[in-house]
Amino acid sequence: VAVFFCFGTSHFCNACHDDFQRVTNIPRHLLPQCPAGPKGEQLPGTSDECPLHVQHPPTGEEFALGCGVCRHAHAF
């Protein structure tokens, strides 16, 4: 799950943020497709085995999984 928002355009998890110089220089056509893991790693399996269990755009396109505030709304 993304915890960093950088350059005004990109969200990163901890692992990708720690390796952002390499990750941001991977050409879009070389990014792994779903299922993909942190740091641009291709995970075994097919797109039918998406670990997110939701339909989403290809790797490299911004996509919101949901809202952290709404997820914790019961705490307010």
Domain residues for the domain of 56 are 4-75
Domain count, the chain: 1
Full pLDDT tens readout for the chain, 76 residues: 788 999 998 889 999 999 999 999 999 999 999 999 899 899 999 888 888 888 899 998 988 887 777 777 665 5
- The Cα 21–Cα 50 span in angstroms is 26
Cα angle 3, 49, 60 (rounded to 5 degrees) comes to 40
- Closest of 16, 18, 19, 20 to residue 2, by C-alpha: 16
User: In terms of pTM, does the model score above 0.75?
Assistant: no
DSSP 8-state class, residue 36: E
Contact, 35 vs 43, CB < 8 A?
A: yes
